[in-house]
């Protein structure tokens, strides 16, 4: 890794110089990131200095792009529109690097044809609550990024967001009052002070006030920056009450088929369209309440839809592409859908992905999520960084070749040497992508030697061969023939460390509710490995009577993940993160979860999940998720709990929420 240069000066390395000369000789375009190398940003008068701050160009160049693998499509596309909304499971930094490639190849556009994302809203985890808890609770303190590391985590993501934005795009950054001064300084650096447009204060009036020895906090801050000089801004209006503007939930107007502000009893719009009522930068808006049944997904730190409606309506128009790369419960994308925007949501938590999936499949048209049902436009769920290998094998040649080249960050450039067709380049050396058509076709020392006969010294000092790990008949990272190194790039990996000079770290899933909003930094990729699971089921009443309950007692849970993670846990049940339950899975093949039970709770309850017997449908589905994001899925018929249809009333009404207390 190159040294950080806090002044933003660049000293072009020999490698970079050679790469520029090579690109120019070949008549290729220089991609935008070279601009920063060739023309370093003017020295700033001031800058936030901290340990481990990397140069922007290194961040852009060194981040791994992880290919987006389609995991599932929701809804069938009927329109001729080539765009499809995207929900991405993975680390947002790596996923954004892939999206950047998509932007460059013209696949990331607004409906009006402008390339890039028109509006980004992010609400990253700040974990400051846990910071203060840290002294008494070491467990909560452990894995979290703090101080300089945290700032660099955010800065890296802001740099990629800026690159992904359309020239006239904007970003809203939701911050925490304890960290916002740093975030604003970083935003000034990444976007430029001249692009700072607003400091919005979200003033909530219904937060529980603790008995603190200072003024209780009653607001959060949202910063608005534009990427360029121009950007969309729609003036918004709102009713005032005692001189204070009050943002209202939008309602679905069936006559105009649009969302409009609330109407009074006579059907007239409540707000009056005059300048005096223009919405300013203090937004008085209720926090989401547990009693808010229609909207609340019970996801920690979920934001209200009204807030996102203001954000999206003020700085975009229908058809624009909206992105939230810390998607959480999916408030941004649910509102984007209601307001007819295109959307991309990214989150590294399985809980978030399942919450969003369920939310998007049970949308209501009004902001606040009541009113008529709204069928979401088709969207695709992608894996970025954790792949289903069996699906890869079914890929056609073109898709497999693309995936292989992307995975190892190779340049896709077919060429021929000694009559042999090669696929691209990696660090200046040729790459061959190999597809194992049948198990008997293998790469052994003999294959390499005959390849070398064809290629000879024209191949240079080394060559890379990408193939499924099982296709190689030798274990070494490379074989040497006449001084030429033939590297085996195995899918999954073996040589990544040498190529990228870094260790892989896995996607981390939380084991308790406090950790749901931890920052997660995953580097690299892995393949899905179904954890080993055994459990017992049954039903009984707890001592002292009470209602009958079904139980699942987890006997064994072991992860098969192979990720190189120094802190890797191997003991029984140690890698369990959470169990998601759909009490009545019989209705469709769509998992719609009713409850989440964290490993921490389970451990305290003797690894037993308890569910009221009457809530269990003909079949229940349980997804046991490990801390790396792998799943063991189980469909458990009611009979396995000793519950038969006869005599056992099934499901008295739907379970209220997934927070419905599991009787552990």
Ligand X SMILES: C[S@@+](CC[C@H](N)C(=O)[O-])C[C@H]1O[C@@H](n2cnc3c(N)ncnc32)[C@H](O)[C@@H]1O
User: 323 or 455, CB closer to ligand X?
Assistant: 323
Torsion of CA 529, 535, 539, 541, to 10 degrees: -110
Tokens of 230: 């121009």
531 binding ligand X? (CB under 6 A) = no
Nearest to residue 47, comparing CAs of 7, 78, 96, 104? 7
179 part of the interface to ligand X, by CB under 6 A: no
CB 329 within 8 Å of CB 302: yes
Q: Which of 302, 383, 430, 537 binds ligand X (CB under 6 A)?
A: 302
Query: Quick one: which segment of 66-74, 342-350, 482-490, 625-633 binds ligand X (CB under 6 A)?
Result: 342-350
Q: Which three-class secondary structure state does DSSP give residue 88?
A: strand
Residue with tokens 């121009």: 230
Q: Shortest gap between Cβ of 370 and ligand X (angstroms)?
A: 18
Contact with ligand X (CB under 6 A) among 125, 368, 424, 612 = 125
Does residue 350 touch ligand X according to CB under 6 A?
no
Q: Does 352 bind ligand X (CB under 6 A)?
A: yes
CB of 354 to ligand X, least distance (A): 12
Which of residues 146 and 635 has its CB atom nearest to ligand X in the complex?
146
Least CB distance to ligand X at residue 148 (A): 17
Q: Does 424 bind ligand X (CB under 6 A)?
A: no
Closer CB to ligand X, residue 123 or residue 600? Answer: 123
To the nearest whole angstrom, how small is the minimum distance from the Cβ of residue 95 to ligand X? 7
CB of 424 closer than 8 Å to CB of 431? yes
Using the rule CB under 6 A, is 301 a contact of ligand X? yes
Q: Could you tell me if 584 and 635 are in contact, meaning their C-beta atoms sit under 8 angstroms apart?
A: no
The two tokens of residue 294 are 């229609």
C-alpha 516/C-alpha 349 separation (Å) is: 8
Q: Please choose, out of 348-356, 379-387, 436-444, 622-630, the segment that lies near ligand X by the rule CB under 6 A.
A: 348-356
Binders of ligand X among residues 510 to 529 (CB under 6 A) are 517, 519-521
Beta bridge partners of 609: 552
User: Of 258, 259, 241, which is closest to residue 250 (Cα–Cα)?
Assistant: 259
C-alpha R_g of the chain: 27
Report the 10 Å Cβ neighbour count for 143: 15
Pick 515 or 615: Cβ nearer ligand X: 515
Q: Which is nearer to ligand X, 337 or 614 (CB)?
A: 337
**Which of 443/576 has CB closer to ligand X?**
576
Applying CB under 6 A, the span of 99-107, 118-126, 201-209, 625-633 interacting with ligand X comes to 118-126
Does 91 bind ligand X (CB under 6 A)? Our answer is yes
Nearer to ligand X, 312 or 520 (CB): 520
Pairwise CA distance, residues 473 & 407, whole Å: 22
Q: Which residues of 246-271 are buried (b: 16+ CB within 10 A; e: fewer)?
A: bbbbbbbbeeeeebebeeeeeeebeb
Closest CB to ligand X among residues 350, 490:
350
Backbone angles phi, psi at 653, to 5 degrees: 75, 165
Cβ neighbours, 10 Å, residue 507: 27
Are 366 and 374 a contacting pair, CB within 8 Å?
no
Residue 313 lies near ligand X (rule: CB under 6 A) = no
> With binding defined as CB under 6 A, does residue 299 bind ligand X?
yes
**Are residues 353 and 381 in contact, defined by beta-carbon separation less than 8 angstroms?**
yes
Task: Give the interface segment with ligand X, choosing from 26-34, 279-287, 322-330, 561-569 (CB under 6 A).
Answer: 322-330
Among 182, 271, 283, 326, binds ligand X (CB under 6 A): 326
Q: Is 401 in the site for ligand X (CB under 6 A)?
A: no
Q: Rule CB under 6 A: is residue 220 a binding residue for ligand X?
A: no
Q: Shortest Cβ distance from residue 126 to ligand X (Å)? A: 8
Binding mask 36-75 for ligand X (x = CB under 6 A): ----------------------------------------
**Burial (CB count <10 Å: 0-12, 13-18, 19+), residue 477:** middle
- Beta carbon nearer to ligand X, 114 or 301: 301
Among residues 324 and 423, whose Cβ is nearest to ligand X?
A: 324
Among 40, 67, 328, 368, binds ligand X (CB under 6 A): 328
SS3 246: strand
User: Interacting stretch for ligand X, rule CB under 6 A, among 219-227, 324-332, 542-550, 604-612?
Assistant: 324-332
Using CB under 6 A as the binding rule, whether residue 551 contacts ligand X is answered as: no
> What minimum distance in Å lies between the beta carbon of 630 and ligand X?
17
Task: Work out whether 92 is an interface residue with ligand X (CB under 6 A).
Answer: yes
Q: How far is the CB of 519 from ligand X (least distance, A)?
A: 5
What tokens does 630 get?
A: 């792998």
Distance between CA atoms of residues 228 and 169, nearest Å = 7
* 13 burial type by CB count under 10 A (0-12 exposed, 13-18 middle, 19+ buried): exposed
User: Under a CB-based contact definition with an 8 Å cutoff, are residues 423 and 401 in contact?
Assistant: yes
Please give the helix or strand (H or E) that residue 420 lies within, else none.
strand 420-426
Give the residue among 549, 575, 565 at the shortest CA–CA distance from 632: 575
Minimum Å distance from CB 180 to ligand X? 14
Query: For 434, which DSSP code?
Result: -
Regarding 629 and contact with ligand X (CB under 6 A), the answer is no
Query: Interface with ligand X by CB under 6 A: which residues?
Result: 91-92, 123-125, 299, 301-303, 326, 328-329, 331, 346-349, 352, 517, 519-521
């Amino acid at each position: 890794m190159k040294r950080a240069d806090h002044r933003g000066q660049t000293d072009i390395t020999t490698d970079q110089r050679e790469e520029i000369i090579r690109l120019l000789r070949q008549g290729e375009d220089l991609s935008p990131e070279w601009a920063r190398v060739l023309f370093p940003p003017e020295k700033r008068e001031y800058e936030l200095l901290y340990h481990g701050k990397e140069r922007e160009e290194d961040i852009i160049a060194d981040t791994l792009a992880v290919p987006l693998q389609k995991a599932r499509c929701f809804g069938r596309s009927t329109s001729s529109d080539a765009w499809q909304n995207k929900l991405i499971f993975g680390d947002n930094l790596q996923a954004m690097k892939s999206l950047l490639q998509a932007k460059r190849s013209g696949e990331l556009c607004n409906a009006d044809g402008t390339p890039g994302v028109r509006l980004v809203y992010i609400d990253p985890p700040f974990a400051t609550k846990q910071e203060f808890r840290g002294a008494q609770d070491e467990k909560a303190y452990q894995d979290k990024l703090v101080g300089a590391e945290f700032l660099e985590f955010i800065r890296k993501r802001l740099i990629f967001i800026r690159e992904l934005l359309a020239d006239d795009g904007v970003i809203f950054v939701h911050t925490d009052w304890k960290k916002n001064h740093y975030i604003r300084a970083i935003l000034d650096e990444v976007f430029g002070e001249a692009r700072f447009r607003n400091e919005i204060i979200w003033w909530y009036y219904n937060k529980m006030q603790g008995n603190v020895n200072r003024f209780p906090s009653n607001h959060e801050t949202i910063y608005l920056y534009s990427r360029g000089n121009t950007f969309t801004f729609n003036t918004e209006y709102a009713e005032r009450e005692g001189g204070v503007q009050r943002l209202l939930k939008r309602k679905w107007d069936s006559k105009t088929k649009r969302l409009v502000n609330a109407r009074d009893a006579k059907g007239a719009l409540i707000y009056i369209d005059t300048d005096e009522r223009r919405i300013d930068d203090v937004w008085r808006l209720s926090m989401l309440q547990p009693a808010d049944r229609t909207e609340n997904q019970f996801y920690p730190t979920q934001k209200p839809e009204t807030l996102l409606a203001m954000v999206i309506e003020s700085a975009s128009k229908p058809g624009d592409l909206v992105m939230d790369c810390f998607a959480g419960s999916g408030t941004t994308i649910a509102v984007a859908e209601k307001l007819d925007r295109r959307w991309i949501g990214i989150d590294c938590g399985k809980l978030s992905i399942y919450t969003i999936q369920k939310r998007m499949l049970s949308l209501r048209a009004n902001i606040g999520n009541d009113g008529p049902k709204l069928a979401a436009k088709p969207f695709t769920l992608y894996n970025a960084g954790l792949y289903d290998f069996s699906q890869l094998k079914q890929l056609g040649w073109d898709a497999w070749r693309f995936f292989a080249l992307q995975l190892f960050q190779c340049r896709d450039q077919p060429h021929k040497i000694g009559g042999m067709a090669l696929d691209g380049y990696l660090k200046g050396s040729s790459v061959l992508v190999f597809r194992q058509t049948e198990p008997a076709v293998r790469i052994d020392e003999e294959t390499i030697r005959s390849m070398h006969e064809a290629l000879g010294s024209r191949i240079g000092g080394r060559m890379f061969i990408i193939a499924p790990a099982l296709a190689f008949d030798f274990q070494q990272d490379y074989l040497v023939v006449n001084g030429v190194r033939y590297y085996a790039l195995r899918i999954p990996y073996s040589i990544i460390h040498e190529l990228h000079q870094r260790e892989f770290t896995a996607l981390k899933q939380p084991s308790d509710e406090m950790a749901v909003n931890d920052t997660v930094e995953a580097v690299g990729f892995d393949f899905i490995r179904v954890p080993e699971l055994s459990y017992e089921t049954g039903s009984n009443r707890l001592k002292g009577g009470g209602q009958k309950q079904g139980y699942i007692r987890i006997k064994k849970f072991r992860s098969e993940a192979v990720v190189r993670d120094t802190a890797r846990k191997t003991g029984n049940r140690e890698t369990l993160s959470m169990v998601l339950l759909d009490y009545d899975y019989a209705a469709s093949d769509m998992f719609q979860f009713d409850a989440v039970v964290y490993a921490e709770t389970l451990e305290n309850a003797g690894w037993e999940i308890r569910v009221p017997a009457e809530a269990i449908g003909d079949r229940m589905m349980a997804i046991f998720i490990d801390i790396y994001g792998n799943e063991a899925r189980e469909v458990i018929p009611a009979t396995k709990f000793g519950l038969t249809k006869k005599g056992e009333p099934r499901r008295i009404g739907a379970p209220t929420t997934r927070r419905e207390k599991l009787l552990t």
